[in-house]
Structure 1
Amino acid sequence: MIDHITIAVGDLEKSKLFYERAFEPLGYRLSFGKEGVFWAFDVGGSLFEIQHTDDKPPLTRLHVAFRVRSRAEVEAFYRAALEAGAGDNGAPGPRPEYEENYYACFVLDPDGYNIEAMLNEPAPQG
């Protein structure tokens, strides 16, 4: 399942106003964000995010994050993607700077897009 998609925009505030108006008839609303950095819209169980980027790593003009079921799946995706020719853009691991239980990896696909496998659940105990 797609957890979130992030696209680069040239004018963050202009794009925010555009998407607020365009999404209104669909019932999609601004969910959260940070002034001057990014905005996230709830689009029915997934997030559509806009942010300004100058294409400096780790950011790319398009970012897609796939929600998976376990840390093992994050790690398996990472290994399989690298074996398939992806570039490393962030090894599997906790990302507490995003959220407390966020665990993810990032790879660059053959066209240089940032692809993520992630989950946001507490680590299994045991």
Structure 2
Amino acid sequence: MIDHITIGVSDLDKSKLFYKKAFAPLGYSLAFGKESVFWAFDIGNGCLFEIQRTDEKPPFTHLHVAFRVKSKAEVDAFYRAALEAGASDNGAPGPRPNYAPNYYACFVLDPDGYNIEAMINEA
């Protein structure tokens, strides 16, 4: 399942306002963020749609997709398989306590340079 998708935007304030208005009829709402950096919208079922400034430096890319998996072993297996398939490392599997206390993830760059994540956020 997709946990969250992040897209780069050229004008964060303009995009925040746009998505707030466009998502209102769908019942999606602004969940959290950091002024001048990114905003996350709750789109249901624990999933997020995020926008971020496009001038951020790596490890951020213009498109980021995070896949929610069932175990840390799946995060590790995805990482190994992706590297073997030609991805570049963008963050080895491990805890990410700065995201959430139980967050465990890895990050790879696909052949087009997009940031792809496998993650679990469970105790």
Same fold per superposition (TM over 0.5): yes
The residue that corresponds to 1:58 in the other structure is: 59
Q: Which structure 2 residue ranges, 5 or more long, are not aligned?
A: none
Q: Cα deviation per residue 1:28-53 (whole Å; 9 max; x = unaligned)?
A: 11111111111100112210000103
2:64 is the counterpart of 1:67: no
TM-score, normalised to structure 1, is 0.94
Q: Are residues 1:32 and 2:32 paired?
A: yes
CA contact (8 A) 1:55 1:61 kept: no
What 5-or-longer segments of structure 1 have no aligned partner?
none
| CA–CA separation in structure 1 for the residues paired with 2:62 and 2:109 | 12
Tell me by how many angstroms 1:57 deviates: 1.2
Distance 1:32 1:48 in 2: 11
Aligned length: 122
TM-score, normalisation: structure 2: 0.96
Matched residues, percent identical?
80
Aligned residue for 1:43?
Answer: 43
**2:15 alignment counterpart:** 15
- Between the aligned partners of 2:56 and 2:76, the Cα distance in structure 1 is 26
Distance 1:41 1:65 in 2: 15
CA RMSD of superposed structures (Å) = 0.8
| Match in the other structure for 2:94 | 93
- Secondary structure of the corresponding residue to residue 25 of structure 1: helix
What is the CA distance between 1:55 and its match in structure 2? Answer: 5.3
Taking the aligned partners of 2:82 and 2:28, their CA distance within structure 1 comes to: 32
Kindly report structure 1 stretches of 4+ aligned residues shifted beyond 3 Å.
Answer: none
